[in-house]
Chain A
């Protein structure tokens, strides 16, 4: 498969009155044509900052992207683009949808016109044609009564409908990459299921590559081709879906999987939970960032950051347990198994 996006040594700091927040700490990853790559991790681990940096949406006044960071798209470094070139990439080639659709919608403009505007920026058609096509887009994303609704304003829409409208705007110019940052976190599970199915169908039809940011492992299980787990601004494990769910290597990945209640678990018994909280990114620890909360922490873990160990062609992990001198341990039980819901 062809690489469509190549991110190298991405490092992002925020200058705040309290000091320098090291939000993204030297991460590298690629996105391949037509795939769904999921980025998972607890809030504050850097998922949104990573996503926004690809779109160059970070606040320029405070966000500082380190000089040797590269985001290569179509042979050029997105981080170096200016003005018109940047505008062409944003929206035309790469589009983004957010958790809160109101932040992306214009409250004073009819939804149909917003979709049409997105079409007009990137294709040479008349306004009338654009509006017609906009209605088609709104139909495609499953907006009920699209002809009528196209003439309404965002505040007349429900949360699910706004999410659909935002997806329509994002997809209007058939981007090569769609970045979806927690697109359904604020929605009901029933609507979430509809939106996820929609994203999957569109991805298959338009062959769009998708970066799906979420903290919900259930969504990841149903959607992702590949997964990378982030912790405290770093990628700590990556692999294809089967590897990460059925043969995870990092104690943090284990902990995430164990945190979800299982059907087999006795009701009202104590659920597994990760103790403590992620480290303060003003002063990230010098060793492994997870050491403080890790059940398997060894002295070396607090001293030096673990290097990346290659597990397979697709899987790798940053953990000292992979070192040849580390004790061999059995993975904890309770990683696998149907978690809730009905039997099939």
Chain B
């Protein structure tokens, strides 16, 4: 049995609603629960707009949750005073998708990386500079890069700067929000390799957000699939790919084009009808039913709960669980 402390990150029934035009509520994140063990990577996937970034930002503390618990290293961070929170947020950092937009163009690489140290008043000027040089080396850049500006770097290099910046204050938990989506395949592999290496060396815990599953499979120990603010399936990576249960996960997996012509020719892909519905007026019952080929009238009535099928495989689908 896992004991409680194994769950380094524990998210319980997290909700984040945004108020939009008048009294309407946009349910960006609508009651998600998951855990991440220390040193583990949880992949979080789903189409754009399903609430992945909002979930990440809420856990990071950039949004105040509407409801739910975020327990990190045994502490519910939604209950902390602002001073305690500042101390605590040192443990959590985020790496963003867009290495261009997330770095202030007027700051040098050195200042960018040291910013967190300055905010948290960690170290003198000299120790900070030494730290910056160490970090640059760690992410595969060098000392000479310290005095340059972000625009002098390629996309892959900028993402390395973003990673060095996140690592500066020695976080234990890093939320990676689509860190490689904007990069070429060969550069993606370099950044993923770096993240894997750092995780091993520094025993980091990752929440790895992505909208496709290509790299997620390689880096994640477990994967959670999100649809319209809710989780529809969570399983360890092998099971998610090999014993896929939820129709949405199946469609998502079959939509990934595979770089093998014979495979592509034989592939019977499941085409999803239409697009993601609005999070302001989500469909009743199972929110996926409007795009699901197996939907019955029952699916419109009751919301499916995330149910354990095996020890580490959960799914929220009436069709799957009624067979059991």
Contacts and interface: CB of A to CB of B under 8 A. Distances in A.
A222 B254 CA distance: 12
A277 B256 CA distance: 27
A221 B272 contact: no
B274 interface: yes
B58 interface: no
B3 to A, nearest CB: 24
Interface residues on A, range: 35 or more
A221 B241 contact: no
A262 to B, nearest CB: 9
Nearest to A196: B257
B300 interface: no
Contacts of B268: 344
Summarize B's interface: helix, strand, loop or mixed.
helix
Interface string B256-282: 111111011111110110110000000
Interface string B229-258: 000000001000110100000111111111
Interface string A57-87: 0000000000000000000000000000000
Contacts of B196: 268-270
Interface string B69-96: 0000000000000000000000000000
A338 B263 contact: yes
A341 B241 contact: yes
6 cross-chain pairs, A with B, having the tightest CB-CB distances, nearest first: A218-B257, A273-B189, A222-B264, A217-B259, A271-B189, A193-B255
A337 B254 CA distance: 16
Interface in A231-276: 241-242, 245-246, 255-257, 259-261, 265, 267-274
Given A158-B275, A189-B255, A336-B260, A43 B212 contact: no
Given A191-B47, A218-B258, 16 more contacts: A159-B48, A160-B275, A188-B212, A189-B256, A193-B254, A221-B264, A242-B261, A260-B185, A268-B218, A272-B189, A273-B189, A273-B193, A339-B214, A340-B213, A340-B258, A341-B253
B154 A277 contact: yes
A189 to B, nearest CB: 4
B211 interface: yes
Given A190-B272, A270-B193, A342 B254 contact: yes
A144 interface: yes
Contact of B259 (A192, A218, A343): A218
Contact of B260 (A194, A221, A265, A273): A221
Contacts of A158: 275
A174 B260 CA distance: 31
Contact of A340 (B189, B256, B265, B275): B256
Contacts of B275: 144, 158, 160-161, 191
Contacts of B250: 342
Contacts of B156: 277
Interface in A296-344: 336-344
Contacts of A219: 257
Interface of B: 47-48, 154-156, 184-190, 192-193, 196-197, 199-200, 211-215, 217-221, 237, 241-242, 244, 250-261, 263-269, 271-272, 274-275
A268 B195 CA distance: 10
A70 B71 CA distance: 65
Contacts of A339: 214, 258-260
Contacts of B259: 217-218, 220-221, 245, 257, 260, 339
B263 A344 contact: yes
Contact of A189 (B252, B263, B267): B252
A126 B257 CA distance: 42
Nearest to B197: A270
Given A189-B212, A260-B185, A273-B189, A265 B271 contact: no
Contacts of B219: 267-268
Contacts of B267: 222, 344
Nearest to A244: B261
B257 A221 contact: yes
B261 A190 contact: no
Contacts of A189: 211-213, 252, 255-257
B255 A271 contact: no
A338 B258 contact: yes
Contacts of B274: 144
A265 B189 CA distance: 13
Nearest to B250: A342
Contacts of A267: 217-221, 237
B255 A190 contact: yes
A191 B193 CA distance: 29
Contacts of A277: 154, 156
B280 to A, nearest CB: 14
Contacts of B213: 189, 340-341
Contacts of B260: 221, 245, 336-339
A194 B47 CA distance: 14
Nearest to B263: A338
A259 B237 contact: no
A216 B258 CA distance: 9
A117 interface: no
Contact of A273 (B186, B221, B269): B186
Contacts of A271: 189, 192-193, 218
Given A241-B261, A270-B193, A337-B260, A192 B186 contact: no
A176 interface: no
Contacts of A113: none
Nearest to B269: A193
B279 to A, nearest CB: 13
A185 to B, nearest CB: 10
A42 interface: yes
A25 interface: no
